[in-house]
Amino acid sequence: MSNKENFYQNLIEKIGKDQILKDEPLANHTSFKVGGPAYYVVLPKTVDEVIYTIKTCKEHDMPFYVIGRGSNLLVSDDGYEGTIIKISGDFSDVSIEPFSIEQDTHLVRAQAGISLDKLADIIARAGLVGFEFAAGIPGTLGGAVTMNAGAYGGEIKDCIYRVTALDKDCNAIQLDLDELELGYRTSIIQKEGYIVLEAEFVFESGDTEEIFDKINDLNNRRKEKQPLEYPSAGSTFKRPVGYYAGKLIMDSGLQGYTIGGAQVSTKHCGFIINTGDATAKDIYELIGHIKAVVEEKFGVVLEQEVKMLGKF
Task: Tell me the C-alpha distance between 150 and 159, whole Å.
Answer: 11
CATH number of 3-86: 3.30.43.10
Tell me the whole-structure pTM to 2 decimals: 0.94
Same fold, 3-86 and 228-309: no
pLDDT tens, the chain, 312 aa long: 578 889 999 999 999 899 999 999 999 999 999 999 999 999 999 999 999 999 999 999 999 999 999 999 999 999 999 999 999 988 999 999 999 988 899 999 999 999 999 999 999 999 999 999 999 898 999 999 999 999 999 999 999 999 999 999 999 999 999 999 999 999 999 999 999 999 999 999 999 999 999 999 999 999 999 999 999 999 999 999 999 999 999 999 999 999 999 999 999 999 999 999 999 999 999 999 999 999 999 999 999 999 999 999
Q: Decide if domain 228-309 falls under CATH 3.40.50.800.
A: no
**Sequence spans of domains, the chain:** 3-86, 94-221, 228-309
Q: Is 308 helix (H, G, I), strand (E, B) or coil?
A: strand
Which class would CATH give 94-221? alpha beta
Which residue numbers are catalytic? 185, 235, 305
All residues at 6 or more sequence positions from 178 whose CB lies less than 8 Å from its CB, including other chains? none
Residue 58 backbone phi and psi in degrees, to 5: -65, -40
